Amino acid sequence: MNGLVTSVNLTLPAWVEDAAYGEGLYRTDDAKMRLAVELARRNVEARTGGPFGAAIFEAATGELISAGVNRVVPLNNSTAHAEMMAFMLAQVRLGKFRLDGGVHAFVLATSAQPCAMCYGGVVWAGVRRMIVAARKEDVETHTHFDEGPMPEDWAAGLRARGIEVTLDVLRADAVEVLKEYTRLGGADY
C-alpha cells in the first residue's frame, strides 16, 4: 500500500434524486415511510446497495431535506448506511453538524430499525422524531445481516433523550424488500 488516503467521497446512485424529489411535501407518517421503503426497494432492484432507505424531513411542513440508501458494498465503506447517508447529506444541505436547535425540528423515516451504529447516529445527528418500518428481528430473519448489540429497550432510550419513536409503519412493505434482497442474492456484510 502506498500513500495515505486523505478524503472520502460518499455518493448516492443517480436515480435517487428523481425517486425522492418528485413527490412534494410528505405530510403523513405513511407518506414519509413510503419514500424510505421505495428508496430501499429501488436500491435492491438497481443493485446499487443494500435493502435500506432513509429520509429526513422538516417536521412542521413535511419538506424532504435529504434521502439516503445503503451504499456499503459499492463504496467499500462500512459506515455508508442509509441513515448515516441521510444524516450527512442533511447536515451539508443545512450547513450544521446537528439537526436540532433553531426553529426547525427534523424527522427521520427509516425502512428498518437502526443498527448499533445508526442508533448512535440518531442521537448525535439531532433528529427529534424517528419513524421505523421493519424491526431488527425482521432484518436478521430475512437477511444474513448482524445488526449489532442494541439495548433491550432501545426505543425507550431514545425517548429518554427527547426523541419520539414510532414503530411498525409499513412494516410488511419493508419486510418484502428485505426478502427480495435475499432472493436476488444480495451481499451479506
Residue 50: closest CA among 132, 121, 122, 115? 115
The residues, any chain, with a CB within 8 Å of residue 176's CB and separated by 6 or more, are none
Of 38, 58, 63, 83, catalytic: 83
Contact 110, 138 (CB under 8 A): no
Q: What is the DSSP letter of 126?
A: T
Alpha helices in the chain (DSSP H): 15-20, 29-46, 72-75, 82-94, 116-125, 136-142, 154-160, 171-183
DSSP 27: -
Active site residue 137: no
Could you give the strand order of the β-sheet that contains 164-166, starting from the edge strand earlier in sequence?
A: 64-69, 53-58, 106-112, 129-134, 164-166
Cell numbers given for 158: 431514545
Residues belonging to the active site: 83
